[in-house]
Structure 1
Amino acid sequence: MTQSAASRRQFLKTSAAAAAGLAVAPAFIPSTAFGANERIVTGHIGLGGQGRGNLGKFVKNAVAICDVDSKHAQQAAKIVKDKAGTECEIYGDYRKVLDRKDIDAVVISTPDHWHALPTIHACEAGKDVYCEKPLTLTVVEGRKIVDAARSNKRIVQTGSQQRSSSNFRKACELVRSGYLGKLQQVLVGIPGPNHPGEPDPISEPPAELDFDFWLGPAPKRPYVKNHVHYHFRFFWDYSGGQMTNWGAHHIDIAHWGMGVDDSGPLSVDGKATFHPKGWHDVTETCRITYVYPNDVTMILGQGQKDIPGGTTFIGEKGKIFVNRGKFVATPDEIGKIELTSSDVHLYDSNHHHNNFLDCIKSRELPICDAEIGHRTATACHLGNISCRLGRKITWDAKSEKIVGDDSEATALISRPYRSPWELT
């Protein structure tokens, strides 16, 4: 997919990141002067379920596979061999992938606590990055990633692929063009945790898993089988539950429709329930009220009957509900509106992974640039912080600080890293 000149011009006009002066395409020739048919060479870090899914989109580009679980790595290398007919080198340490001069970009599909360091190190090594959502584990990590992308003139695409689906773009364009009248409220619905149940007993990790490297910067913990791989997302050390899993998708669309990709909420007030036996430590249910500029309220609900899964925009003249494969406008006529040249036309991408490859060649910002991924993840993190504290917090999106003398909340926008790992 190659973006039209018109869509590129419109993106520069409408992108919130561009409005903040951060989205200026770097005026330089990339290390590889890509021709129209020249292959972009990729390395892949993290090859669990989502990692193998992403690998399938870049299978003809892949030359290197890295995972701390050797079984995952071997499965991924076999996918490349079977589908592309080529051999991949296998690594257990992502830094060895970054050392390779022939690799142009890396695809990071690790657990959330392993997003920031490989992304930053890749930027410093001159690699472009496709990183799964949520972009970060903490707010502070996000700003570090954006800074690394900008200072090293790297393309960083966040894996919030709903932005590259036409139904989500249509919904946001109608909202941004004013067809709902003044936007009043946005509803975001996320599912409950499909957690692994009662914890498995503490045991020795399997031979194929380098568990200490899997933990990385996270606190030292004993190995529990159903706390790793897919289930990592239900434990605070490594993730933020469905808030950072599905919330990162649906809040991303809410932000796009509200036009706040370069900012964030003014306040966040969340209430939540947690597992009564402590089988996981992320929210079981929650209801979080975010207040944004221009008197727009976003309510995120988990296990709330009045909030459907997906994103619902509510304005003076009607509402639009959008989710994967779904678009419902009320009244129906709103959904039939054809946009005119004077309406808002948002960044037009119809393939998230190809958009990344296109931007590596053009050096234009991708549809879900690091700044956008960071701001979406920040809203998720603030929701979790409010729920964990059980009270309202006030946020200054410009300075990215919690307002007031709130040391307890402020401490939660970052986390200490376990030695020898450092976030610098």
Structure 2
Amino acid sequence: MNNKNSRRSFIKKATLTSAAVTSAPYIFASNFEERLLLTRDYIPQNYSANDRINLALIGTGIQGIYDTQSALRVDGVQLVAACDLYTGRLERAKELWGDSIFTSRDYRDILNRKDIDAVIIATPDHWHQKITIDALKAGKHVYCEKPMVQKAEEGEAIINAQKASGKICQIGSQGMSSLGNEKAKQLYEEGAIGDIVMLDMYNDRYSAEGAWQYPIPPDANPETVDFDTFLGKAPKVPFEPKRFFRWRNYQDYGTGVAGDLFVHAFSTLNYVISSQGPNRALATGGLRYWKDGRDVPDVSITLYDYPRTDTHAAFNAAFRINFIAGSGGGGGFKLIGTEGEMEVGQNSVSVKRSKLNMIPQGYSMVSFTEDMQKKIREGYAQENLEPRSSSLSTGTTTWEAERDYKGGHYDHFNNFFTAIRNNGSVIEDPTFGLRAAGAALLANESYYKKQPVNWDPVKMMLT
């Protein structure tokens, strides 16, 4: 990457944008701060009953409901069926979307219906691969929640099934299609932060709900919950409501913090910098507080190595999760480069550029005589290491979505349904989904093996 050219391109474009929006002569001046709008135009569409996409939900839990609510905001989509292994969730589906929808505890009943065009798969992670492949073979378009797979080696079969079916398959890291991601990618490619040297991602939580201690309904019993089917390929164990309603806490069904949270960050990171992913990971952590029977850590720190490619320099990524953060919680996602840093969210992007001090200050000069200090300063002055332009391009600019922005979750489903209607492509296909999931799941491989692990980001396999 040509740093000088990309930097000039970025500053020039930023200046033009600022002039158009605020009439300010420069977007970055010394200690400059500015806020600009991010906008997206949505064109309303009217579809007849025959032109609507008939959608079904498989897995009517927390994320499945949020997914469906976002999907139904897209014009020309209607829900016709829902599936879950707990009868109370089927009752909830009818409560939310009407008594006319078809419900079943067997997902195969959904796939056998000829009137269903697409399905949302929002089941526990250990069911993603099988149901996704079965749905594609049944001729359904698929929106599969992240992580695409529970184990990296499961991914190739989904990629092959999608290609063989000719159907659309979108993986559901819901922020992927957001205005924030789009702007971050544009800014990075224009050289806003120079060469990336580090990614800093953290997610702090301070609640039982945030630590996956989800409520268990008092009517949970072997009659209302099809526990044997839930277990699937996992080891057989006696009925235990906690395992069903709090499945993220168990390796047998979920993927821990890596599959729940890291995968979002990898989706955004790989998209913004056009990367195929890291090639090495080292994880540590432990179960520090939520000792409720879970066998996954509630504190996790993982370091990743990214190799140099045509789109980015070699850099390191630090991912940190704390489910018992006494600070009260919070999160962040920052790309840190040689010339600035960029904080990325679904609805906003902030770029901060600082002046790099190249001339020695008082600290390192103290051991020299006054005469020698003078000579040293004169020598640095002749090199012109800090031209005036290095001060003029500093400051912070934040791009924020308008208040009526429909959000990244809506945009991700809009991308999915548009691809179905136009026989187009999606932003997060199974190959992209495997690269994001595979990178995230390296944290589990390293943590449980207690050693670094290597990954081939091109072949998408452990090495």
Q: Same fold (TM over 0.5)?
A: yes
Which residue of 112, 115, 137 maps to 2:150? 137
CA distance in 2, matches of 1:369, 1:353: 13
Among all aligned residue pairs of Structure 1 and Structure 2, give the percentage whose two residues are the same amino acid.
Answer: 30
- Cα distance, 1:43–1:196 mapped onto 2, change above 3 Å: closer
User: Which amino acid counterpart does residue 256 of structure 1 have in structure 2?
Assistant: Y
**Are residue 299 (structure 1) and residue 314 (structure 2) matched?**
no
Matched residues, number: 352
Preserved CA contact (<8 Å) 2:53 2:117: yes
- Cα distance, 1:216–1:72 mapped onto 2, change above 3 Å: same
**Are residue 335 (structure 1) and residue 397 (structure 2) matched?**
yes
Preserved CA contact (<8 Å) 1:322 1:328: yes
User: Structure 1 residue 37: deviation in Å?
Assistant: 7.6
SS of equivalent to 1:290:
strand
- RMSD between superposed Cα atoms in Å: 3.1
Give the aligned partner of residue 243 of structure 2: 227
User: Structure 1 residue 323: deviation in Å?
Assistant: 2.9
SS of equivalent to 2:57:
strand
**Are residue 287 (structure 1) and residue 301 (structure 2) matched?**
yes
TM-score (norm 1): 0.76
CA distance in 2, matches of 1:349, 1:209: 30
User: Which amino acid counterpart does residue 335 of structure 1 have in structure 2?
Assistant: T
Give the aligned partner of residue 419 of structure 2: 359
Which residue of 218, 224, 245 maps to 2:234? 218
Give the aligned partner of residue 77 of structure 1: 94
- Cα distance, 1:177–1:46 mapped onto 2, change above 3 Å: same
User: Structure 1 residue 196: deviation in Å?
Assistant: 5.8
CA distance in 1, matches of 2:341, 2:248: 32
- Cα distance, 1:183–1:398 mapped onto 2, change above 3 Å: same
Preserved CA contact (<8 Å) 2:175 2:409: no
Give the aligned partner of residue 270 of structure 1: 283
CA distance in 2, matches of 1:208, 1:349: 31
User: Which amino acid counterpart does residue 378 of structure 1 have in structure 2?
Assistant: G
CA distance in 2, matches of 1:155, 1:198: 32
Preserved CA contact (<8 Å) 1:190 1:243: no
Q: Please give the per-residue CA displacement for 1:139-165, whole angstroms capped at 9, x wherever unaligned.
A: 012221111111211111111111222
Give the aligned partner of residue 394 of structure 1: 454
User: Structure 1 residue 219: deviation in Å?
Assistant: 1.6
Give the aligned partner of residue 29 of structure 1: none
User: Which amino acid counterpart does residue 433 of structure 2 have in structure 1?
Assistant: G
- Cα distance, 1:256–1:390 mapped onto 2, change above 3 Å: same
Give the aligned partner of residue 273 of structure 2: 258
**Are residue 102 (structure 1) and residue 118 (structure 2) matched?**
no
Structure 1: unaligned runs, 5 residues or longer: 1-33, 338-347, 404-424
**Are residue 320 (structure 1) and residue 334 (structure 2) matched?**
no
**Are residue 242 (structure 1) and residue 302 (structure 2) matched?**
no
User: Which amino acid counterpart does residue 77 of structure 1 have in structure 2?
Assistant: K
Preserved CA contact (<8 Å) 2:455 2:462: yes
CA distance in 2, matches of 1:256, 1:399: 18
User: Structure 1 residue 267: deviation in Å?
Assistant: 1.0
Preserved CA contact (<8 Å) 1:189 1:250: no
Which residue of 438, 441, 444 maps to 1:381? 441
